[in-house]
Amino acid sequence: MSVKERFLDYVKTDTQSDPETGTHPSTKKQFDLAEKLAKELKELGAQGVSVDEHCYVYAYLPATAEGLPALGFISHLDTEPVCSGKDVKPACVPYKGGDVRLANGKILSEKEFPVLKNYVGQELIVTGGDTLLGADDKAGIAEIMTAAEYLAAHPEIKRGKIGIAFTPDEEIGEGASLFDVKKFGCDFAYTVDGEEIGELGYETFNAAEATLTLTGKNIHPGSAKGKMINCAVLAGEFLAALPADQTPATTEGREGFFHVESIRAEVERGEIKLIIRDHDADKFSRKKAYLSQVTENLQKKYGESSARLEIRDQYRNCLEKIREHFHLVENARTAFARAGITPIEEPVRGGTDGCTLSFMGLPCPNLFTGGHNAHSVLEFIPVPSMEKAVEVIVNLAKIYGGN
């Protein structure tokens, strides 16, 4: 089966995760794709195929030669919670340039997305305009599965064990939280969860989430002087203290930010949720300390019980661990070159399962899938980009096999 055929099949299954359930996996429907993939893995000859109680899929292709490193490839099952992944209706478009009109009338604009010009003459897979497409990360899954089928059908290729894993809940930051590194049994791995063809990610944000809980005091406004504590006012003061030049809309490259995700404020109660991001560990620590200081200032002004801040680290910059195994990057560059691809090596303004896995003892750079506009009804992916991703995965298996 071609990578295109696999991808079009996988996006039919709704695997949207949900950050509110508190369960692992966050949605039972992720098992639908997990079980389907397990069945396909068995059919192509993979061994050790299993789907555990938390919806992690594990499998491996046995080594064809002894003494070689075990190399893994990992993608995630779930799609973004904010944009619907139900009843995805992909369309295959021979792209001739200009704008692309989607089935519901929405426009994929060449002016808004000039990268489209790179794909004139190629076949694009687009959405119907009502849902996301799911290339993040069903394209990665399709690419790994297609590469695995090829390697299983060519035992003459000298290589070590090839591990395969698919994780749930990556989109809500929990994709690697229950990953069994020992069971996976690989020395190194690559996540296949990037976007544009050529992306090679090995430097990510350090990440944390913060919740500010506000507690006020409601007094009749006619007699409130010196007594009322209005959480809406406290929320405004907290937001005003955040640096205006450190937001997602004002930063790029290695510049970190504070991103306010939600605000709820009434007189007696309030809550602000935000995330903190920075590639530099020291700057990241200072950002967290700054939020603590702003909170202390509110407490001094309005009372200790008026504001409470909780900060939870989410993941760390995987470069810290990959630097110790930089052959992963160097060999990826070689795999790209063999496929005729120029690497795009820029700091990732986000994170992947590979961040957590790298600190769990499984160093994991991130490879492109070929997708664009993830988490959007304007998401699309060129078919040749997926085919090149398959080629890169096969090349890596060969390189680590000494070929």
Domains of the chain, by residue range, sit at: 3-203+317-400, 206-315
Residue 33 clears pLDDT 90, i.e. is over it: yes
> Average pLDDT in the 164-177 region?
93
Q: Given this model, what pLDDT does residue 265 score?
A: 96
User: CATH topology of 3-203+317-400 equal to that of 206-315?
Assistant: no
Rounded Cα distance between 232 and 235, Å, is 5
Residue 351 clears pLDDT 90, i.e. is over it: no
Please report, as a single letter, which amino acid is at residue 305.
S
CA dihedral 38, 39, 43, 48 (to 10 degrees): 40
Residue 352 clears pLDDT 90, i.e. is over it: no
Residue 149 clears pLDDT 90, i.e. is over it: yes
> Average pLDDT in the 24-33 region?
97
C-alpha Rg value of the chain to the nearest Å: 23
> Average pLDDT in the 116-129 region?
97
> Average pLDDT in the 118-128 region?
98
Q: Given this model, what pLDDT does residue 350 score?
A: 84
> Average pLDDT in the 206-214 region?
96
> Average pLDDT in the 293-315 region?
96
Query: Looking at the domain that runs over 3-203+317-400, which CATH code has it been given?
Result: 3.40.630.10
Residue 26 clears pLDDT 90, i.e. is over it: yes
Q: Given this model, what pLDDT does residue 316 score?
A: 92
> Average pLDDT in the 273-301 region?
97
For the whole prediction, is pTM greater than 0.85? yes
Among 228, 227, 264, 261, which Cα is nearest to 247's? 261
Q: Per the structure block, which two tokens stand in for 146?
A: 């297609």
Per-residue model confidence as pLDDT tens digits over 34-58? 999 999 999 999 999 999 999 999 9
Per-residue model confidence as pLDDT tens digits over 213-242? 999 999 999 998 999 999 999 999 999 999
Q: What is the mean pLDDT of the chain?
A: 96
Rounded Cα distance between 81 and 4, Å, is 24
How distant, in Å, are the alpha carbons of 217, 220, 232, 234, 353 from that of 223? Answer: 13, 6, 18, 20, 54
> Helices 231-240 and 281-302 sit at what angle, rounded to 10 degrees?
150
Quickly state the pLDDT bin for 110 (edges 50, 70, 90): very high
The torsion angles phi and psi of 31, rounded to 5 degrees, stand at -65, -25
Q: Given this model, what pLDDT does residue 157 score?
A: 97
Q: Given this model, what pLDDT does residue 173 score?
A: 85
Rounded Cα distance between 139 and 389, Å, is 9
Q: Given this model, what pLDDT does residue 303 score?
A: 95
> Average pLDDT in the 150-173 region?
96
Catalytic machinery residues: 78, 170
Per-residue model confidence as pLDDT tens digits over 69-90? 999 999 999 999 989 999 999 9
Cα angle for residues 128, 133, 139 (degrees, 5° grid): 145
Quickly state the pLDDT bin for 168 (edges 50, 70, 90): very high
Q: Which CATH number fits domain 206-315: 3.40.50.410, 3.40.1390.30, 3.40.718.10, 3.30.70.360?
A: 3.30.70.360
The percentage of the chain sitting over the pLDDT mark of 90, rounded to a whole number, equals 95
Rounded Cα distance between 120 and 398, Å, is 31
Q: Given this model, what pLDDT does residue 353 score?
A: 86
> Average pLDDT in the 288-296 region?
98
Q: Given this model, what pLDDT does residue 279 score?
A: 96
Q: Per the structure block, which two tokens stand in for 170?
A: 């990556």
